[in-house]
Structure 1
């Protein structure tokens, strides 16, 4: 890295870089490695204290993969893949974090990462064709490329309840859970939220707390997780499949190893039930991601599969109050995030657990002693754990002052309409290249490592091609962006997913424009679109 003798208006020294990478998680680490291998002078910045991204921040009890560990890995280097061994099929956060440290050290990435540092602004200078990036630590960087690897779920929703600051006990968000943990033994604990995160917390802490009160708003379809341990034989078996997995995973519908194999219309009712039962018993997301694809398009098929899952849940719950609060009836299975769980539903049968439905009786405020509901009832608590979600897809970048050509604001533009070109770039923002933002599968509907590898590889290729041709900027054209948005909307509109109110459509953030955040045409199809774009000379982009 070199330091320019030039200074900005407040006399801070300006660092000259070829690229700044935002984030040091799964995408940021690989992006840093690729750009550095290309010979660029590049540095990554992360607000966290070390590498890991979501796996650094989410240290809450029970945090773990719901993708099989052996597919949630980098596939660009077989030895990097096989020299790491997972201890179980769906490992927990501590093991995942150790894996990311292994990758970081193996690739010697740490020397080019600045931790505990937030990027606060990035302004594009059209005359010079470069970005000025500033951090909360006082860095000022002059860079040609600004690459966002900030993550899909990295902007937590906070300050949602009146009186939060008045609570006399301990109040924590799952998204910033204390690294040293939280002692809940024998305490009165309230968990707000029963999405994937809330479910993991609830099932994990229930045996230890004195009393647990769960505040549940939106019921979730859940699938049981089967999580076998991996010894040397199991580890050798999945490692021997490296070539097969590398050839298969990037081309399936969701970036998992399995794919849709059956057509609903081609099966008898008995065959359908057998397939549903077999995929359910797999103990993974297979029922959702490799059962019947028609569930995303046909209300009739969706209802039949949804009822199958509801019956499974009712059998385990037994109590009508629990069924009324926890079993979904107003949306279809798989039309938003499906959590895996391990004994979660049975938790509600424990004598020390209460379930409060807050859909019709919302939380009114937080008091010094607990939580007050709209009807005036007060639940006294020692600890409140908030699993209340994220501003998905857009939040990480709209919380930064990003300004493109003519001073346009990304936050303001996405506040009006969420538009990108393949989730890789935005018209009006030259040399801003993005991963895990809207209108790509990586905004929700993908095994994240699969999609983030593909997107960072595309970005690396686009920068290399630009430099080889002696050009310096790449930006989507207005026409190119319009074409992708139209394709995205046509693809989404053919499904029933857009009829569901969920964070998949930004419905959990007041005022957020409604649009399916993730491209739903399939991971393999998306990859083909991206490869064709590059092979054809980037017709949707202007390169200067």
Structure 2
């Protein structure tokens, strides 16, 4: 990719002091690439990051077994051919330490840290109608101004605080998977309890079980998990992949999930039972499988309940085969939501762990959790004495990183009020009434239903090009029209409601956070079609946006093309 052309020199103030062109919130993979690309446009950029170094979610989530569920050579930047050729991955699914090393390498290679303020939390961003600039305040009492603010704070960055009475009374040590001690934790010989069985728990439980003298897992909702079949790369694999990186990357950009995969050709019930089972067996057992193989086997897996049931029952059969105790196996079998309507977990020895005599499963649906006591955890049935407690209670996904900041747009309107009935955006990138502000992989974009690296690069490039467009033309403000925003909200709901996703209580729906509006947040229309729509908006002069208060482009109403409805 060629370096973007610099924009004309800034005309809205000195580069000294606390006035910049763009404030970026977050120094994960989104924020790092934004900084690099905006620098290439000649802009003055200040990045704020709560952590003490780059990496975003991979800085914080250091729990045992933390690993990406996208294959390593796909979960990487593509914007710099030299970078993608020089970095050497070690295995199919990268661990958290390996991903963090990669993030540090990128920061070093492009000298990014000099424009990042670490250990700094942004408390508010307030639009000044008269100055047509944002005022950004930090927890250190600093005040900055910027023409643009870009929220690159991630979809899974605000962890869900435990809603468990008595936690502070616990005499042992407790840990949240999303804020794991960087020095690690030694559970050797301890009585350990884990609350939660989502992805973080499914990855960490097998490793905690190796150390713990006794492990009790408290499960409210069982999750579907498929085998990772993780392995080191065989000789020559990386070299072969890198030789065809350009074609592979382009296939990813035009795919439905940001992961190249042959499209299914028929529905599940169009196949006979034997052929269908053989297809599922291959997806389950193939050493090179991915988390999408099972759900991509047929065209109607996420739109037809009967088709979905065939895959769900296949996985339940595998659980019953793996777990020796029939009662434990049934407790681990999800039965009240479609497979894939919650993110499928990629696991290594998760179900097998329950065959160990020192590992116990507590069904919180049968005996609900009452409280944490000084000695452990009490359910309606009994008290479990513990030395340590692990909370794998998830995230306030998609919106939490934004609503945790006091964001105020035109006329002092608060984002939390604008989103009182659920997130509202145009393309998941811009928000009506909030000028010159953008969101990377925000709600109502493919984000968490895609390979995040593919979606991050697409958003960063679109946003940085839009900012350059505004600066080159001396434009003061750009923001979506209310009509464009409403059209996109309606389209996102339409395509989401055509699937089985809304039938599950998942973090995709906000169901895991008490009081959060139950709305399907990510965009399910596909990475490739979404990219085409974003390109069309830009090519048409940023249609659906107000530019200096006036409608722009060929369709200021923000129409949704017929091909995407």
Kept after mapping to 1: 8 A contact 2:162/2:393: no
Q: Which residue of 1 aligns with 2:475?
A: 471
Q: Which residue of 2 aligns with 1:542?
A: 546
Match of 1:180 among 178, 183, 189: 183
Match of 2:259 among 256, 259, 280: 256
CA distance in 1, matches of 2:17, 2:159: 31
C-alpha displacement of 1:243: 1.2
C-alpha displacement of 1:326: 0.8
Match of 2:72 among 58, 69, 72: 69
Q: Which residue of 1 aligns with 2:409?
A: 404
With normalisation by structure 2, the TM-score equals 0.92
Kept after mapping to 2: 8 A contact 1:399/1:411: no
CA distance in 2, matches of 1:381, 1:436: 40
Matched, 1:162 2:165: yes
Match of 1:450 among 449, 454, 464: 454
CA distance in 1, matches of 2:166, 2:277: 49
Q: Which residue of 2 aligns with 1:334?
A: 340
CA distance in 2, matches of 1:232, 1:258: 24
Q: Which residue of 2 aligns with 1:439?
A: 444
C-alpha displacement of 1:298: 0.7
Q: Which residue of 1 aligns with 2:552?
A: none
Deviation larger for 262-271 or 198-207 = 262-271
CA distance in 1, matches of 2:197, 2:162: 18
Q: Which residue of 1 aligns with 2:561?
A: none
CA distance in 2, matches of 1:30, 1:293: 35
Matched, 1:298 2:301: no
CA distance in 1, matches of 2:119, 2:20: 20
Root mean square deviation, CA, Å: 1.8
CA distance in 1, matches of 2:111, 2:31: 14
CA distance in 1, matches of 2:115, 2:62: 25
C-alpha displacement of 1:100: 0.5
Summarize the alignment of residues 185-200 of structure 1 with structure 2, pairs less than 5 Å apart. Answer: 185-200=188-203
Summarize the alignment of residues 132-147 of structure 1 with structure 2, pairs less than 5 Å apart. Answer: 132-147=135-150
CA distance in 1, matches of 2:225, 2:148: 42
Q: Which residue of 2 aligns with 1:91?
A: 94
C-alpha displacement of 1:272: 2.5
Kept after mapping to 2: 8 A contact 1:288/1:338: no
Match of 1:310 among 301, 316, 340: 316
Match of 1:384 among 389, 405, 415: 389
Query: How many correspondences in the alignment?
Result: 535
Match of 1:320 among 318, 326, 345: 326
C-alpha displacement of 1:421: 0.9
Q: Which residue of 1 aligns with 2:420?
A: 415
Match of 1:531 among 527, 535, 538: 535
Match of 1:393 among 393, 398, 405: 398
What are the ranges of 5 or more consecutive residues in structure 1 without an aligned counterpart?
7-12
Matched, 1:513 2:517: yes
Summarize the alignment of residues 42-81 of structure 1 with structure 2, pairs less than 5 Å apart. Answer: 42-81=45-84
CA distance in 2, matches of 1:497, 1:394: 18
C-alpha displacement of 1:268: 4.0
Match of 2:433 among 413, 428, 433: 428
1:104-134 CA-to-partner distances (Å, cap 9, x unmatched) read: 1111111111111100111000111100001
Kept after mapping to 2: 8 A contact 1:119/1:135: yes
Q: Which residue of 2 aligns with 1:236?
A: 239
CA distance in 2, matches of 1:475, 1:396: 21
C-alpha displacement of 1:152: 0.3
C-alpha displacement of 1:307: 1.0
Kept after mapping to 2: 8 A contact 1:87/1:231: no
1:133-153 CA-to-partner distances (Å, cap 9, x unmatched) read: 011122211101000010000
What are the ranges of 5 or more consecutive residues in structure 2 without an aligned counterpart?
1-8, 549-565
C-alpha displacement of 1:300: 1.1
CA distance in 2, matches of 1:349, 1:231: 31
Deviation larger for 180-189 or 460-469 = 460-469
SS in 1 for 2:210: coil
CA distance in 2, matches of 1:147, 1:288: 36
Matched, 1:107 2:133: no
Q: Which residue of 2 aligns with 1:151?
A: 154
CA distance in 2, matches of 1:232, 1:53: 31
1:466-503 CA-to-partner distances (Å, cap 9, x unmatched) read: 12222121101000001101111111111111111111
Kept after mapping to 2: 8 A contact 1:22/1:150: yes
C-alpha displacement of 1:23: 0.4
CA distance in 2, matches of 1:480, 1:151: 24
